A and B are shown apart, each in its own frame.
Chain A
Amino acid sequence: MELRNSIDGGRGLYDTFVQLMDFITGIFKTSLGRKYLMAITGAGLFGFVVMHMLGNLLVFAGPAAINEYAAKLQGLGPLLWVARIGLLGMVGLHIWSAIKLTSENREARTVEYDAAVEPVDAHRRGDIVAKFAARTMIFSGLIIAAFAFYHLAHYTWKVPQINGAGADFELFYVAADFTTTLEGGEEGKDHADIFKMIVTGFKVPAVSVFYVVAVGLLCFHLSHGLSAMFQSLGVKNKNIAPWMDRFAVCASALIFLGYISIPVCVLAGFIK
């Protein structure tokens, strides 16, 4: 009581502070709290994945469209950094809770059953055994994380050694019309030629294959993750669950098609 009065003169700030700390402990230190974290960061990352795809699809509208879009993003300045740090935070929390939850799950079941699942009603097997996507979330997730790192090195940090195209994306610039290639552009002054970078990047078959596989895994992750997310957030019930499951599958399929259309069209020569 004395401490409380000395802090805020009894105005309740101390209580609010204690309650806030309890709330934070409740989120980070308990199973259900971490499931919330997982679901909220998963939802945020899903939002990013959708926006990123829509942005990328501008490549079909020609060099000017995507280069101008990229220039606008770059022009956001500090906001861009807020978004980047937010994303990094979400990835960090998602991975942290994923590893924590998964290792707890392993410890909770250290001995596996000897017999394969053969219920007396054979048709119920599919309901009793966890689906493959659900059993492999940590692996699909970690591979996506590894891919994301490679992807950043490829197109954001533009590390020439890993693009396999024998080109330095750092040197790809466009003139003010966002279309004409500019030789010897200057960083910070001229606009990057994102279009040329995409075409050159995906012309390398191995790069495209890796990309398609990674996006496939992401969508596999989402096919379970999106429907689990509604459950973790407590908004699922038997009436709407079938729609949520359909949403998860359809959204994953659309994201898959949206992303892979770009390397596929580059390799097929539709985008050049």
Chain B
Amino acid sequence: MIKANNIHKSFGDLEVLKGIDLEVQPSEVVVLVGVSGSGKSTLLRCFNFLEMINDGEITIDGTTINHKKDNLSKVRAEVGMVFQHFNLFPHKTVIENIIEAPMQVKKKKKAAAIKHAKELLDKVGLADKADVYPNKLSGGQKQRVAIARSLAMEPKVMLFDEPTSALDPELVTEVLQVMKNLAEEGMTMVVVTHEMRFAREVADRIIMLDEGVIIESADPKTFFENPSNERTKQFIQLVE
């Protein structure tokens, strides 16, 4: 679904990604871990072209993207992204947040967009919040709306960048549950998270990023019980 081939990304003199190779299969859930500054967010952002790679190749659903020539809006419409700080549109109600892109980008009719949005709100357990503004929601509710908003575009893959890191501990579960359901429905997902229980239970594969390179890629059991890299061992001790 996503194929990264020898990705390099620098900010000025700082090389953040140093040749990343990664292939995510359809319906696969990949959890991305690593210490702060290892390049997790940058990698995710390259996948939907919020950052442009300096070298290498990104292929989404069989199409290799040339970020200089291709219509990036079109590519991004197929790749959902959920942010740490939700980034809901504060001037729009919950339902307006969700129908915005389907109507503007996919030129969906309003009635159809609303119908789909309501189904999605139902799915994330917020059917009663359709007409409130985001500032009236808790963090967990905001993040679930943000997930519904991404899903409204019917993306082929969903990227999550620390979706629960900004939440109070008691609100984390409701968001993880929605993500878990999504995984079970067969959504292809790449998730950056520090929630190791989620990684253990939901991930098909856990990838450890360290100073811009992948140093470990294994199924959860192997990752936690028998990691091959010394730094992975240290990291696991740190987070467990």
* Chain B binds chain A: no
Residues of chain B touching chain A, judged by Cβ–Cβ distance below 8 Å, are: none
Residues of chain A touching chain B, judged by Cβ–Cβ distance below 8 Å, are: none
